[in-house]
Structure 1
């Protein structure tokens, strides 16, 4: 499965090097090059890439500022920062960067990161649900959490909710256990979408999601499993108040 890439750097020599490197990787398509932040932002919203390789300090708008705007609109796009500065690493991972590569560009590391992104994209899972609106295919990566409410299960995505009468256990069996975990007798959560876990009451915690108002619950029974899963798979700056 191929990935579409945009590169951004105000230094033409750096763009040239990246161009040469990307040509050496199978199933990677360079779709645009930007020399400043505003140009990058325009390209991203117009061309919808899978990956952005960007410098941090650029004219008009920094790579970090662009990333913050992008992340508000698209939380699945992969961001890779390529920069001469190490002091922005914390800010980079606050916008959920996939990697932070310092110049001079480490070719092997860049290749490894892009291969990782390709592999993750190839694992996208479409799941067929029988909902109250009919049969629907849902990309598992779009699912934030599944909630059991009385006789129905509510599938929460960023854009829509879907209702099904399928049991929570049955849904859990069909989901990728690398990313989906039971956090409560009434909730299954996609840990890639979790922003923060906060105190709620003695017996449970609230699980908050990026750019989504509703929350899931984490009960004491599932707390240790949740901690273990986060430690194994999370690569972002997750706040745990548990």
Structure 2
């Protein structure tokens, strides 16, 4: 049997909690594991019960639903939020809190059913999505005595000459024996583009392209007078990357 979705109902009005609990009882995939009559109680029960979803009222004394939503988003296990309120005016703010849905009182059973469907799909995707490993954000350049870790955004271009790869930053030039192709692969997630067999450039630092000869271009970078060659085989692809 498929594991049920655990729901916590949060509303300062007992009648509203009972009505929603009654409606949710018709969905065999939902299990109401608790109720809370205030924002403070909602946070406490979220910590204790670890629900998959909060059906959360907006207008509550002392601590309203938006404050509850902000607090539970700081938890290790963050439940989905479905706001359930009599006030339509809070809808825009609700979705800024990454709410899954926004239900108005009195509850419409069709809209509630659609919200449950969205909830099931979201939880299904979450369950079958493998956790993402954090991606490295620095380029390691190994020298004779040190390893420098470079912010890719600070690199202007990379060139290869006489079996040495030069990594040209805004304030310093680094050298590595790694092939240009290897450096290109390591910078693949960032804004770099091959413009020549011996040059890789950071697109964010490009200032101007100037026609040169035989369909080739020269490229100027921001903050420097140096000009780099753009082979004609790369011109079309470069312009496609740069232009709106």
Q: 1:147 to 1:16 in 2, by over 3 A?
A: same
Q: Does 1:99 find its partner at 2:101? A: yes
CA distance in structure 2 between the aligned counterparts of 1:36 and 1:79, rounded to whole angstroms: 16
- Which structure has greater strand proportion? 1
TM-score where L is the length of structure 1:
0.54
Query: Matched residues in 1 for 2:106 and 2:43: separation?
Result: 24
Structure 2 partner of 1:38: 40
The residue number in structure 1 matching 2:19 is: 17
Q: Is the 8 A contact 1:2 1:118 kept in 2?
A: no
1:185 pairs with 165, 185, 188, which one?
188
- Secondary structure at 2:60 match in 1: coil
Counterpart CA distance in 1 for 2:77 and 2:240 is 30
State the structure with more CA Rg: 2
Structure 1: gaps of 5 or more residues:
127-138, 152-183, 188-199, 204-219, 224-241
State how far apart, in whole Å, the 2-side matches of 1:150 and 1:100 are.
44
The alignment's TM-score, normalised by the length of structure 2, stands at: 0.54
- Structure 2 partner of 1:134: none
Tell me what 1:143 maps to: 132
- Aligned partner (choices 50, 53, 68) of residue 52 of structure 2: 50
State how 1:217-228 maps to structure 2 within 5 Å. Answer: none
Unaligned runs of 5+ in 2: 141-186, 191-202, 207-238
The answer on whether the counterparts of 2:72 and 2:78 sit within 8 Å (CA) in structure 1 is: no
**Deviation by residue 1:193-236 (Cα, 9 ceiling, x = unmatched):** xxxxxxx9357xxxxxxxxxxxxxxxx9889xxxxxxxxxxxxx
Change (3 A) 1:201 1:119: same
Contact 1:36/1:59 (8 A) holds in 2: yes
